[in-house]
Amino acid sequence: MLRTKIAVFVSGGGTNLQALIDAEKRGEIPSGELALVLSGNEEAYALTRAVENNIPSVVVKRKEFPSQLAYEEEVKRILRERDIDMIVLAGFMSILSENFTSAYPKRIVNVHPSLIPSFCGKGFYGLHVHEAALDYGVKVTGATVHYVNEIPDGGEIILQKAVEIQEGDTPEILQKRVMEQAEWILLPKAVEIVAKGLQKGK
């Protein structure tokens, strides 16, 4: 059976990309194949990870296009050219419009570092999420993998995992624990669930 071809969209270090690469090597994503890494930033360390693991990569910068529409059409063209079935947003900093997300219904997943619906939506990304959780005084946070639609962090939830907040946590310490205990575990599992479903439809 043909494996679901996956593109991972990145902007920075690519730690979630690495979690997927490691999971694929361990045989934990049997239904999917990491077929492309797309970055909005040519200096993203995630691109180095792609090269080191023989995954084709491409850089597409939003600012080089006159409009969001032109940018998204180019991204779509690249995905079509490479027969990509599914997209994983792994620390991807560009918001995608409905024009893009509606072209890939239930085919785009994102990992968010909180238990949605807490600390999510516009402006909640990276350390901002963990700062908000600590400021609010919640005792439990975590990560969520969800489908992507036109509403930031608004798509259907696929998997969630809770992580306890500890005495003396800083946003940086909490970010690392959420990655290690939730994001890196959930993301490969969710990717396999979606890839398997799409594989059946192939």
As a whole number of angstroms, the distance between CA 64 and CA 14 comes to 23
Residue 146 appears among annotated catalytic residues: no
pLDDT tens-place string over residues 40-78:
999 999 999 999 999 999 999 999 999 999 999 999 999
Confidence band (pLDDT; 50, 70, 90) for 166?
Answer: very high
**Catalytic hit among 112, 128, 130, 146:** 112
Region at 14 (left for phi over 0; alpha for psi -120 to 50; beta for the rest): left
Q: Please give the full DSSP string across 34-61, using - where no structure is assigned.
A: EEEEEES-TT-HHHHHHHHTT--EEE--
Q: Which of 178, 92, 185 is nearest to 143 (CA)?
A: 178
Select 4-111+144-158+183-201's CATH number: 3.40.50.300, 3.40.50.170, 3.40.50.1970, 3.90.226.10: 3.40.50.170
Q: Which of 56, 57, 55, 59 is nearest to 21 (CA)?
A: 55
- Domains of the chain, residue spans: 4-111+144-158+183-201
pLDDT tens-place string over residues 73-122:
999 999 999 999 999 999 898 889 999 999 999 999 999 999 999 999 88
User: Quick one: 54 exposed, middle or buried, by C-beta within 10 A (0-12, 13-18, 19+)?
Assistant: exposed
Q: Please give the full DSSP string across 162-176, using - where no structure is assigned.
A: EEE--TT--HHHHHH
pTM of the entire predicted model = 0.94
As a whole number of angstroms, the distance between CA 93 and CA 95 comes to 7
As a whole number of angstroms, the distance between CA 50 and CA 114 comes to 27
Residue 202 has pLDDT above 70, yes or no: no
Q: In a 3-state reduction of DSSP, which class is residue 161? A: strand
pLDDT tens-place string over residues 133-152:
999 999 999 999 999 998 88
